[in-house]
Structure 1
Amino acid sequence: MSYVVLVAWLVQAAVGILLLTSWIGHGRTPPRTVVTHVTLSVLGVASWITYVLSDMVLWAWAAFALIAIGNAFGDMMLLRRARAMGGSHLSTVNAYKVALRSMFKGRLPLRVSFHAVFAGVVFFSTLGVCIAETVG
């Protein structure tokens, strides 16, 4: 299962690279939120690869911690975008609702929607392996 999760991490990273290169390609300098999200994600992938190669569960938990924090920065970007679309007055819950509606109604680019939704797949599959390896 750890290899399946590794593939999920790599797919997520590939889409993230597409988003980052698109951002830079439009002449924009990524803000600190983006840089932090990318940095934590790269460290998370590296930790997961180290876990797969070493079979030391501590590296899996390190990857999980990094993705948990990294996803929080990704969510900040998504909520900022949702508030720009639905009004800066939105609460966090309502901003998530706007973001989800926007994703499923095709108002966000497919890459952004995929990256946001697939983050949950990577997060929960990583957590599942961490728990199974720790308990088992």
Structure 2
Amino acid sequence: MSYVVLVAWLVQATVGVLLLTGWFRHGRVRPPVVLTHVGLSVLGLASWTAYVLAGQILWAWAAFALITVGNGFGDNMLLWRTRRMGGSHLSTVNTYKLALRSMFKGRLPFRVSFHAVFAGVVYFSTLALCIVETVS
């Protein structure tokens, strides 16, 4: 199962790289939020890979901790983008709702929507495996 989760991490990372290259190609400034999100995600992937190779659960939990913080920065970017699209007056909860509606109605680019939704798949599969491996 750890290999399935690794594949999910790699799919997510691939889409993230596509988003990042598009970001740079359009001449966007490199804000600390983006770089922090990317850095934590890379470290998380490296930790998960170390877990798969070494079989030591500490690496899996480290990956989970890194992805938890990294996803917070990713959410920050999604909320910022949603607020720019007209949700600047909304609370955080309502901005999340607007972001979800925007994703499922096709108002956000497919890559952004996929990356945002698939982050949950990677996050919860990582958490589930950490728990199962710790308990067993």
TM-score by length of 2: 0.98
2-structure distance, mates of 1:52, 1:70? 20
2:69 — aligned with what?
Answer: 69
User: 1:93-112 to 2 correspondence within 5 Å?
Assistant: 93-112=93-112
1-structure distance, mates of 2:84, 2:60? 36
1:40 — aligned with what?
Answer: 40
Contact 2:61 2:130 in 1 (8 A): yes
1:55 — aligned with what?
Answer: 55
1:22 — aligned with what?
Answer: 22
Regions of 4+ moved over 3 Å? none
1-structure distance, mates of 2:120, 2:91? 21
Shift in Å, 1:47: 0.1
2-structure distance, mates of 1:87, 1:41? 27
% of aligned pairs identical?
76
Shift in Å, 1:105: 0.2
Give the CA RMSD over aligned residues. Answer: 0.6
Contact 1:41 1:67 in 2 (8 A): yes
2-structure distance, mates of 1:107, 1:30? 24
User: 1:83-98 to 2 correspondence within 5 Å?
Assistant: 83-98=83-98
Does residue 114 (structure 1) correspond to residue 102 (structure 2)? The answer is: no
TM-score by length of 1: 0.98
Shift in Å, 1:86: 2.5
1-structure distance, mates of 2:96, 2:125? 22
Query: What letter matches 1:18 in structure 2?
Result: L
- Structure 1, unpaired ranges of 5+: none
- Structure 2, unpaired ranges of 5+: none
The secondary structure found in structure 2 opposite 1:82 is helix
Contact 1:40 1:66 in 2 (8 A): yes
Contact 1:51 1:57 in 2 (8 A): yes
**C-alpha deviations, 1:5-39, integer Å up to 9, x for none?**
00000000000000000000111222100000000
